Structure 1
Amino acid sequence: MKEVIEKSAKRPRIVVLIGTLVAGAFLWALVPGVMAGDPSGASTYMGDLEGLKTAINFTWVLVSAFLVFFMQAGFALVGVGAIRTKNTVNYLAKSYMDFSLGAIFFLVVGFALMFGGSGVAPGLELGNALIGYSGWLLAGEAYDVTTSMVWLFQAMFAATAATIVAGAMAGRTKFQAYLVYTVLVTAVIYPIYGHWVWGGGWLSTLPFGAGARDFAGSGVVHAVGGFVALAGAYLVGPRTGKFRTDGTPVAIPGHNVTYIVLGTFVLFFGWFGFNPGSTLAATDLRIAVIAVNTFLAGAAGAVVACYTTFFRTGKANIFLICNGSLAGLVAITAPCAYVPPWAAVLIGAIAGLLVMASIWFVEWVLKIDDPVGAVSVHGVNGLWGLLAVGIFADGTYGGVSGLIAGNTGQFVAQAISAAVVVLWAFGLGLLIFAVIKYAIGLRVSREEEVVGLDISEHGTPSYPGPMDSWR
């Protein structure tokens, strides 16, 4: 163990390099340029009824951003509960750094790539169908209260996309490699696909239906994170002892079911900021339907997972119940504004079935080790959510109607966006993780893995006193 600690202490600090790059970007922002937008809010807020409406909408979006930020605690609890005790500190450090480091690089690079050219706020006028290129560092005209509001809300989404991968690669991934991945996801992978859908890019203007629609991020956030996670889990390989010599998987129990359940509660609660908050306006009263649909889909996923596991094994598996609920929430994220409540129940129920089938397929057929089921919850059900828009949208909101309303074009647009997100996220994920693996290494040594990443990567145990290594 002493050798492991000494080895980790001598590793080059890639954080220094990252910090140098960030510092250089901030120096650019200090160069005098165009005038700021409205950083004080004095021009945005008017002392009349319209001004009150603006203030209410601002407050709604900011509170929703705070709720989405709180979801990071939920992801941390679920992930920690599903892994061994000896890797707890490592997982918590990754959870904390993916939003901390990710926020900086989303400010420096990602936000401009994603929303440049969208015109959704001041300073975001420049961009094309493939990429945005305005709003860097929230400087110049982007130094504005409206642009800042949009940035904060979207920074929380970028952090969510990044943190999804941590669970799939838990227990054997180098901390420094994870930091590099976090930078690239929040600065490049998430923003560019997000631009294609939310920033006025080419997917949003497809000549089918209303173009690709993803109201709150089944594809943009969850499928992106899920398929990057698939690439990472594949390249890093399974945890030691996960598969027998004949290829059959071995169950490696997590150390705290309570954390998993509490984390799921936190995530469920945060989803009421994730989905209804994506209206970007409290005065859009569709938020009531969105909130109901969100709740029903999460509940339906849990119910289906509960009864399916009970009928199959005679036991109600709480881990699968929680994953069923999360799968329903992921699936409803894209169609939540476009479908009626009865469809939300059906979408969530199908998600509950899909997540269990996918967990089995990933583990038994693909032989990929995904400790928390991130690929199945977020990747597979992110795709299902995109397709559900093209099936169940009833035309009562945003001019989006699917197969049930007699519109086949919308389903075509959704299928194209689903195919693109798989190719983009999985393909670029493979490339990024392969480069990281070659450059600095992706996986810890077997000795470090056996000792536990808490000691080998951070030099401290998660709990005081002796603990069994498997727990």
Structure 2
Amino acid sequence: MEASWEASVTDSINTIYLLFSAYLVFVMQLGFAMLCAGSVQAKNAMNIMLTNVVDAVVGSISYYLFGFAFAFGDGSASNPFIGTSFFALKDIPSSTYDYSYFLYQWAFAIAVAGITSGSIAERTQFSAYLVFSFFLTGFVYPIVAHWVWSSSGWLSPSSSDLLFGSGAIDFAGSGVVHLVGGIAGLWGSLIEGPRAGRFDAFGKPVLMRGHNATLVVLGTFLLWFGWFGFNPGSFDKILVSYPTTSDQGNWTAIGRTAVTTTLAGSTAGLVTLFGRRLLVGHWDALDVCNGLLGGFVAITSGCSVVDPWAAIICGFVSAWVLIGLNIAALKLRFDDPLEATQLHGGCGAWGLIFTGLFAKEEFVIQAYDSGESGVSRPYGLFMGGGWALLGAQVVEVLAIVGWVSATMGPLFYALHKLNILRISVEEELAGLDISSHGGYAYTGHAEESRPRFYADYVRLQDQS
């Protein structure tokens, strides 16, 4: 009786911890909303806020109906989440479906659509958001989540048949979440093309700054706060004791994960601050915010399996990855208003490679074998662990890029051909708020939001 009571208390505490982590991850939606709103022009503020809401509500339905089963099902039993026997939740006890685990995974799923929305902001028809958000959260992302996070996934480090004897370590989703969202955004941006006026007749970039730095900074801090659910929360159970020790368990690894997350983000923000100061000649709060987030994205893969000093290296490199990709994007006339492709895609890919280089064997065993003694696993190449883990990490990068390209690329192209992807130039110049949502987000902002050349443009169009 006493053992049963202790087990019940343990389950209750683990459930509370998981739900609290889910709430933190959900707060990131507010962070995305503030970041996006501040990063776009004032004439598109209402539109970008609405798309963030749509990502959450549409993603909820699609993930409930299809996504969760695709991610964690094996197709052999009934799944009450969709009311059909076609899917099963192999990783969830069939007698007591764990709704808290569903909620936690749902919060991750809707974050992916938010990443992609930023890449195609300020020029996309609202109906296109509805389509791609449903498809991305209900099908594309869950398949990748199954590969890496389901115990039956072919890339999973918890699989009975480990790839290269290792499996790919993507603890909280540098690849599963961020690289997926970044590559989807890449295809959306490429197919839509740059915003009107982003590049002049000679191909040189024209500055189109966001309208509210305060919202960007607020969104960044909200995302930082939410990341403490994103990374440490990915330990599904806090009360797990390692069998060979009396003073270690998941609670020690959770604390270390929070520290590595903080150090990587802070280092990336600091390096971006000084790096951009050297390149552009002034301090820029917005660049620092994106640099900070790039560090968080990169450490998300290996946050539980690296030392704090390695997290500093992760953040340092991620800052230069982001700076370099932003420079390349301008040269290639690639327009991503939120730098989501460069930030989530580029830093997400670096995070996977970083884990293959710096993962520590002791921590890998803690995270994936509950600290069992006598267990040997491949670990980081630079830590003496050989090439197996790094090879699995590279395979994950290639698999995600291939899968998302093969699914989201054709979807965006089909929307383009059906003329339901991009708005007209006239609507874009006027702003999505007035053309699609009946008014601007800010009172008395109608005239100020229009580009000064808008009236001349319309007159020329009428004459032609």
TM-score, normalising length: structure 1 = 0.84
Alignment partner of 1:240 is 2:196: yes
Which of residues 183, 202, 207 in structure 1 aligns to 2:154? Answer: 202
Which of residues 355, 380, 402 in structure 1 aligns to 2:380? Answer: 402
Q: Is the 8 A contact 1:230 1:426 kept in 2?
A: no
After superposition, the C-alpha distances for 1:315-350 in whole angstroms (9 at most, x for unaligned) are 121111111100000000000011000000110111
After superposition, the C-alpha distances for 1:178-202 in whole angstroms (9 at most, x for unaligned) are 1100000011110011111112211
Which of residues 133, 139, 142 in structure 1 aligns to 2:87? Answer: 133
Structure 1 residue 460: Cα displacement: 2.3
- Provide the residue aligned with 1:310 in structure 2: 277
| 1:50 aligned counterpart, secondary structure | helix
Alignment of 1:42-191 (within 5 A): 48-117=5-74, 133-135=87-89, 144-146=96-98, 148-191=99-142
Cα distance in 2 for partners of 1:275, 1:73 equals 18
Which of residues 388, 394, 404 in structure 2 aligns to 1:425? Answer: 404
Cα distance in 2 for partners of 1:90, 1:429 equals 22
Which of residues 278, 294, 298 in structure 1 aligns to 2:265? Answer: 298
Distance 1:459 1:135, change over 3 A: farther
Amino acid at match of 2:301: A
Alignment partner of 1:323 is 2:280: no
Alignment partner of 1:452 is 2:431: yes
Cα distance in 2 for partners of 1:253, 1:171 equals 12
Cα distance in 2 for partners of 1:455, 1:216 equals 39
Cα distance in 1 for partners of 2:287, 2:3 equals 50
Q: Is the 8 A contact 1:113 1:192 kept in 2?
A: yes
Cα distance in 1 for partners of 2:315, 2:60 equals 31
After superposition, the C-alpha distances for 1:342-401 in whole angstroms (9 at most, x for unaligned) are 000110111111111111112222x11111110111000110111111100011123351
Distance 1:266 1:83, change over 3 A: same
- Provide the residue aligned with 1:262 in structure 2: 218
Paired residue total: 415
Q: Is the 8 A contact 2:194 2:334 kept in 1?
A: yes
Cα distance in 2 for partners of 1:231, 1:223 equals 12
After superposition, the C-alpha distances for 1:210-257 in whole angstroms (9 at most, x for unaligned) are 211110000000000000000001111111001111111111011001
Cα distance in 2 for partners of 1:463, 1:333 equals 36
| 1:254 aligned counterpart, secondary structure | coil
- Provide the residue aligned with 1:33 in structure 2: none
Gaps of 5+ in 1: 1-44, 125-131
- Provide the residue aligned with 1:230 in structure 2: 186
After superposition, the C-alpha distances for 1:108-146 in whole angstroms (9 at most, x for unaligned) are 011111101399x9969xxxxxxx93249x9x9868352
Cα distance in 2 for partners of 1:91, 1:333 equals 26
Cα distance in 1 for partners of 2:262, 2:113 equals 24
| 1:208 aligned counterpart, secondary structure | helix
Distance 1:141 1:279, change over 3 A: closer
Cα distance in 1 for partners of 2:106, 2:36 equals 21
Give me the CA root mean square deviation: 2.3
Distance 1:470 1:273, change over 3 A: farther
| 1:396 aligned counterpart, secondary structure | helix
Q: Which moved more, 1:382-391 or 1:207-216?
A: 207-216
Q: Is the 8 A contact 2:429 2:450 kept in 1?
A: no
Q: Which moved more, 1:391-400 or 1:367-376?
A: 391-400
- Provide the residue aligned with 1:19 in structure 2: none
Structure 1 residue 154: Cα displacement: 0.6
Amino acid at match of 2:133: T
Cα distance in 1 for partners of 2:188, 2:330 equals 15
Cα distance in 2 for partners of 1:167, 1:134 equals 33
Q: Is the 8 A contact 1:363 1:370 kept in 2?
A: no
| 2:164 aligned counterpart, secondary structure | coil
Cα distance in 2 for partners of 1:68, 1:339 equals 22
Alignment partner of 1:381 is 2:347: yes
Cα distance in 1 for partners of 2:75, 2:45 equals 41
Gaps of 5+ in 2: 81-85, 240-249, 366-377, 452-464
| 1:398 aligned counterpart, secondary structure | helix
Amino acid at match of 2:334: I
Q: Which moved more, 1:239-248 or 1:64-73?
A: 239-248
Alignment partner of 1:469 is 2:444: no
After superposition, the C-alpha distances for 1:141-197 in whole angstroms (9 at most, x for unaligned) are 868352x11110011101001110111111100000111000000111100111111
Identity %: 39
Structure 1 residue 94: Cα displacement: 0.3
Distance 1:470 1:262, change over 3 A: farther
Distance 1:225 1:143, change over 3 A: farther
Cα distance in 2 for partners of 1:456, 1:345 equals 46
Cα distance in 1 for partners of 2:388, 2:47 equals 46
| 1:241 aligned counterpart, secondary structure | coil
| 1:311 aligned counterpart, secondary structure | helix
Cα distance in 1 for partners of 2:94, 2:340 equals 35
Alignment partner of 1:370 is 2:336: yes
Q: Is the 8 A contact 1:394 1:404 kept in 2?
A: no
After superposition, the C-alpha distances for 1:264-283 in whole angstroms (9 at most, x for unaligned) are 00000100000000001122
Q: Is the 8 A contact 2:69 2:79 kept in 1?
A: no
Q: Is the 8 A contact 1:84 1:470 kept in 2?
A: no
